[in-house]
Amino acid sequence: MWTSLFVSGLLATAQTPLEKLAIPVAPVSVVQAPAAPKSAAPMAPLAPGQQPMAEEKKEEEKEEEAAQKFLLMKLLDGRTGGEFLDKSGITIKGYMDMNYTASTASNQNLPMAMNYKANQFLLEQNMLMIEKAVDTKANERTWGFTLMGILPGSDYRFTVQNNLMDSQLTDNNGQPNTYGVDAPQFFVETYNPNLLKGVDTKVGRFYTILFNESIDPTQNKLVSRALTFMNNPFTHTGVLTASKLDDRWTMYNGLTCGADVFFGPSGKASYLGGLKWESEDAGTNFSLNTQLTDPSFNQTQGTANTYDVFEVQFNHKINDRWSYTSDNMYSFINNWDTNATGSPIVDRDGIPKAYQGWANWYGFVNYLTFNVTDKLSTTSRVEFFKDTEGVKTGFQGLYTTLTQGITYKMYDEQLWVRPEFRYDNNSVSKAYNNDGTPSNGLFTFAIDVILRY
């Protein structure tokens, strides 16, 4: 019954009114041709991974958001410290993301995440960020930096890198503690407007360019994350360049240690790259992204951070209210062998993955968003994720997830409220524990509050 009601609501919300489909044709004057528009300056490359869900935003809107001051900067206004930060172009800001998830499960919603705790409150992130943005309008090279820290939050167990504060994942009798700390981004950045149409370079730890969702909840339109996102790279450590080839094409090239791994024995040289095309009005874009390495399980360390990933992403702004995203990923790894370490490894979800051999996983995710007003929007997400050997989620099978959420922003977007309904189903395995009874399905209702300061 719940499934029928949910799917019916999902379809009803996603229907586009017929009158919206009409394509307006602008009349052409035969008396006088319209004046030619002034040439615009070439767009600077977007920071890869930093704003994965904002592809359809106009450049002016991004600049306005970047210039907006939240509580921390407002408290420093008129003071010596605030004047120094303003002159230096340094911004200090943060956000707090907390939620409650009602669930048919008794304890945990895994492999659904990051709101993985059932029927209890979670402080997912208390994030503090210090950054100096590069100046993409300057005529000479500029530099910047970003420092971000979860202080603390439950999301650390999913975001922490191998070889960097990863001992927290086994501090609780071999399992993760509920709360911990992490630094998901810390890098220096330069922008050179004189190379090609502009080249942005990052060195350090940075968000991935793979997939449209993000660790940062303010860049997502729903509370929970897609399984496809949860089981692929979050961050990388190394160097990444974004090169604007012309007004339409941007190329990404990077050399990293792998997926979610810092320098050390668990890492391996990996290529991170992509190619993105964007329409003239910035309303449509298409990306091909990849991670390429020696895709082998590290039998000495018992880690699986070096695997190959291939992504095809499409974003389209249908009109001023409707937008659509399609994100599709395929990943594989060789020689998975948990027996080589003497015990199954512990991954993001803490579920043992006892398996030997070649393994792959892949997902197809679709989003449809309707903006009711500038402050209120609703998003439908339909996902199909296949964990062929069960090495990522702990259970084999095809997962189907249906999610319907609402985002309401208040007080100059400093306070967000997002309720969400979600249904998960594994067609093969009883992946969920509903009140102590193994089940193929899981139904959740989550609501989170984001306070930006």
Residues 326-340, mean pLDDT to the nearest whole number:
90
In a domain, 386, yes or no: yes
Least confident of 102-111, 322-331, 431-440: 431-440
Q: Does residue 89 fall inside a structural domain?
A: yes
Whether the predicted pLDDT of 205 surpasses 80: yes
| Burial class for 251, CB neighbours closer than 10 Å (0-12, 13-18, 19+) | middle
In a domain, 46, yes or no: no
411-440 tens-digit pLDDT: 999 999 999 999 999 999 999 988 779 999
Question: Does some domain include residue 447?
Answer: yes
The winner for highest mean pLDDT among 148-152, 313-317, 345-349 is 313-317
Q: Could you report the per-residue pLDDT of 31-51, keeping only the tens digit for each? A: 333 444 443 444 444 444 444
Per the confidence metrics, is the pTM higher than 0.75? Answer: yes
Mean pLDDT calculated for residue range 278-292: 97
Q: Which of 263, 158, 142, 286 is nearest to 212 (CA)?
A: 286
Check pLDDT > 50 for residue 10: no
Contact predicate 338/357, CB 8 Å: no
Stronger pLDDT, 36 or 296, i.e. the higher one: 296
321 pLDDT above the threshold of 90: yes
For residue 9, is it within any domain? Answer: no
Please state, for a pLDDT cut of 70, what percent of the chain lies above it: 82
**Has residue 14 got a pLDDT over 50?**
no
Q: Quote the pLDDT of residue 46.
A: 47
* Long-range contacts, stretch 62-68, CB < 8 angstroms, 24+ apart: 66/133, 68/412, 68/413
Q: Does residue 406 lie within any of the structural domains?
A: yes
Instruction: Name the pLDDT band for 192 (thresholds 50, 70, 90).
Output: very high
Higher pLDDT, 107 or 274: 274
Q: Which residues, at least 6 apart from 232, have a Cβ–Cβ distance to it below 8 Å?
A: 208, 210, 211, 259, 309, 329, 331
Q: What is the CA radius of gyration of the chain?
A: 22
6 within some domain: no
Q: Taking residues 303-321, what's their average pLDDT?
A: 96
pLDDT per position as a tens digit, 81-105: 888 898 899 999 999 999 999 999 9
How many domains are there within the chain?
A: 1
- The parent domain of residue 108 ranges over 55-452
pLDDT tens digits for 247-262?
999 999 999 999 999 9
What 408-412 contacts at long range (C-beta under 8 Å, 24+ apart), as own/partner pairs, is 408/375, 408/376, 409/375, 409/376, 410/375, 412/68
pLDDT exceeds 90 at position 20 = no
Residue 7 lies in a domain: no
In tens, the pLDDT along 337-347 reads 877 665 555 56
What is the domain-level CATH number for residue 351?
2.40.160.10
Better-scored residue on pLDDT, 74 or 118: 118
Q: What is the pLDDT of residues 371-421, one digit of tens each?
A: 999 999 999 999 999 999 999 999 999 999 999 999 999 999 999 999 999
Query: Distance of CA 87 to CAs 4, 66, 83, 140, Å?
Result: 57, 15, 6, 18
Residue 360 has pLDDT above 60, yes or no: yes
Give me the mean pLDDT over the 218-231 stretch. Answer: 97
User: Mean pLDDT, to the nearest integer, of 114-129?
Assistant: 96
Q: Output the pLDDT for position 340.
A: 66
**Average confidence score pLDDT of the chain:** 86
CB 393 within 8 A of CB 349: yes
